[in-house]
Amino acid sequence: MSDEPDGWDADRYDDQCAFVSEYGERVTDLLDLAPGDRVLDLGCGTGQLARRLTETGVDVTGVDSSRSMIDAARERHGERDGLRFVHGDARDLPALFEDAKPFDAVFSNAALHWVPDDDHDAVLGGVTTLLTSGGQFVAELGGRGNVARIVDGVRTELDTRGYDCESPWYFPSVGEYAPRLEAHGLEVRRAHLFDRPTELDGGADGLREWLAVFGDELLASVPDAEVSSVVDAVDDRLRDDRFHDGVWIADYRRLRFRSVKVA
């Protein structure tokens, strides 16, 4: 578990979860941008993708609700003309960017599933407000069924010990999310849900590392002194199914879409 006040350990995230931004590059490929365009990276984490996008000549602002992530992004990439990082909540976009010029694109990778279901309308309303007419909203998030085996493994273990297990994530289907986008004036040009089995970094420790970076809320009901024995037990439970040839494979499923703001 992270010792950071907001639960995020930026160094561990970059060391153990480099695959997040590596896969994210395939999402940025869906953006249709010209040099000088203004892009907002929603949930920018430590800013790897934001910085890489600037190499195409666009101007990028990264926003993240974790202060530790924004501090790390500033430290790793610096801020300059064309790249800046803002600490703030995805639900408050219009207030955060009150004085900013509209954006040509909003982009988000592996972040929106952290926003509770009920709050997505606030996020999508904000995205529409910030976009120019014809502006793009391109994103990938965990889709329906994402990491279900891992969540089930944790839930079963906590059940046997008499603890609750609440998944903190929202993993929608295409049929559920496309109407939400359209209700906010975002015309869906492309959307698909697909399996993306994902090799976890860390070899035999891959699942433990994944739980250390992402599992705080999933394990929230477990007393601190018992967390490591729970993690050991979950590791045992899932090993036959998800650990092969020295690598843990997480059952990721992605919802990826490209939408455009219509008048």
Contacting positions for ligand BEZ (CB under 6 A): 110, 113, 142, 146-147, 169, 214, 252
Query: 191 has which bridge partners?
Result: 257
Count CB neighbours of 200 within 10 A: 23
CB nearer to ligand BEZ: pick between 137 and 214: 214
How many alpha carbons fall within 13 Å on the CB side of residue 88?
20
Q: Identity (one letter) of the amino acid at 143?
A: G
Nearest distance from residue 27's CB to ligand BEZ, in Å? 11
CB nearer to ligand BEZ: pick between 8 and 103: 8
Cα–Cα distance measured from residue 73 to residue 86, given in angstroms and rounded to the nearest whole number: 10
Nearest distance from residue 87's CB to ligand BEZ, in Å? 20
CB nearer to ligand BEZ: pick between 21 and 146: 146
- Do 255 and 194 form a contact (C-beta atoms < 8 A)? no
CB nearer to ligand BEZ: pick between 129 and 173: 173
CB nearer to ligand BEZ: pick between 62 and 135: 62
CB nearer to ligand BEZ: pick between 137 and 252: 252
Segments in the chain forming alpha helices (H): 10-16, 18-28, 48-54, 67-77, 93-96, 120-130, 148-161, 174-183, 206-214, 224-242
SS3 call for 198: strand
Q: Identity (one letter) of the amino acid at 139?
A: A
Q: Identity (one letter) of the amino acid at 251?
A: D
CB nearer to ligand BEZ: pick between 110 and 233: 110
Nearest distance from residue 107's CB to ligand BEZ, in Å? 15
Nearest distance from residue 111's CB to ligand BEZ, in Å? 8
Cα–Cα distance measured from residue 62 to residue 127, given in angstroms and rounded to the nearest whole number: 14
Nearest distance from residue 114's CB to ligand BEZ, in Å? 8
* Signed CA dihedral, 198, 248, 216, 146: sign only: positive
Nearest distance from residue 32's CB to ligand BEZ, in Å? 24
Which residue's beta carbon is nearest to the bound ligand BEZ? 142
Nearest distance from residue 110's CB to ligand BEZ, in Å? 4
